[in-house]
Amino acid sequence: MFHEWQEENSNKALYTIEGKGIIDYYGATAARIPVFLMKYCVFIQTNHKQILGAKVAAYALKRNSVHADRFDVRIIDTRDYPFFAAREGQLYLRDGVKRTWLNDDLQSFTPTRFLPPQLMNYEGRAVVIDPDIFAVADIWELLSRDMQGKAIMCRMRSGPKGLVDRCMASSVMLLDCARLTHWQAEQTFNAMFDFKQDYMPWICLKNEERDSIGFFENEWNDFDRLTPATKMLHVTRRRTQPWKAGLPIDWRPAEKFRLFPPLAWVMRARRKLFGEYALLGSYKEHPDQNQTDLFFGLLKECLEQGIVSEQMVREEMQQNHVRHDAFEILAKTPALAPPGQPPLNLSAA
């Protein structure tokens, strides 16, 4: 194992060895705490807009594992990597279209999913997940599984992206870091602005040798589907993320639709005439109450345990990162079942 030093008053979630166990540090910490990156680590990508989701995701990973002492959890925040800010407002290549890079976009964190091998010194195993993914099973089952010589394990994307474009879902990946020494996230990121690298093939893992990629069960990245078989819930339909309902849309839709190209022309005209987020409407309630109850049940426990503060939630509400009735939703959210049991009764799902 190796370590780095965490400066005081960090707001990141840290896990450090003390004796035989793992001690969780959230919020303000003592100065210069050694943070040990173990052989196994889960990385959660985020930016300033999704930091609350990332903290809840980190809590869920440890809460629902009986092997929590065997792996580390680390949040990757775009604000810690200056190469993101350096490209603010510049044009980059996305799906064959030149778009403006905005760090304020909801999903500006996605290139960070290629950082874990470097952060692990190209050693050990890593899982990387989006900040809207919440474990309901033991992540150790995935971290410790036989990769059968593959460098990457993931699932296919759904819909036309998966069926037509054969795009792989890099939102959850199991990585053998020693086999990914060619991953240089900053270099590839910068190549998008030289128009030598397109965002979509990179994110879809089309830059990788096909025989280096294996597949795990879809339940490890369950797209807006929560059943007794789900292992990690991915609230991937951004419009219905439970903690965003009622807020104005702050993500930019695609501008390339292979099944109906005229829609792309309309979306491009909308952006050019009215602005990046104009006429996009607002976030809606999630159609599955169980998924709302899961997120707010986890958030309630984070508040009770001091992992997330009430002040932080209120600040996130003020910045339109979290729905304005969050505390009303928390008040009526039922408690989750204790760790070691399925958090919700999904027998009827």
Residue-averaged pLDDT of the chain: 85
- Domain ranges in the chain? 40-234, 242-331
Instruction: For residues 151-165, give the mean pLDDT.
Output: 81
**Residue 172 pLDDT greater than 80, yes or no:** yes
**Residue 33 pLDDT greater than 50, yes or no:** no
- Of the listed ranges 49-63, 246-260, 288-302, the least confidently predicted one is 246-260
CB burial string 265-282: b at 16+ within 10 A, e below: eebeebbeeeebbeebee
pLDDT > 90 fraction of the chain, expressed in percent and rounded:
70
Q: pLDDT value at position 345? A: 85
Residue 133's φ and ψ, nearest 5 degrees, are -125, 130
Q: Regarding predicted confidence, which is higher, 64 or 95?
A: 64
The model's confidence at residue 249, banded by pLDDT at 50, 70 and 90, is: confident
The model's confidence at residue 9, banded by pLDDT at 50, 70 and 90, is: very low
Q: Regarding predicted confidence, which is higher, 176 or 36?
A: 176
**Residue 160 pLDDT greater than 70, yes or no:** no
The model's confidence at residue 21, banded by pLDDT at 50, 70 and 90, is: very low
Chain centroid to CA 165: 22
Alpha-carbon distance 306 to 301, whole Å? Answer: 8
**Residue 203 pLDDT greater than 90, yes or no:** yes
The model's confidence at residue 173, banded by pLDDT at 50, 70 and 90, is: very high
Q: pLDDT value at position 207? A: 95
SS3 per-residue string spanning 233-302: EECCCHHHCCCCCCCECCCCCCCCCCCCHHHHHHHHHHHHHHCCCCCCCECCCCCCHHHHHHHHHHHHHH
Q: pLDDT value at position 159? A: 72
The model's confidence at residue 26, banded by pLDDT at 50, 70 and 90, is: very low
User: Within a 10 A sphere around the Cβ of 59, how many other Cβ atoms?
Assistant: 23
CATH of 40-234, one of 3.90.550.10, 3.40.250.10, 3.40.50.11540, 3.40.50.300: 3.90.550.10
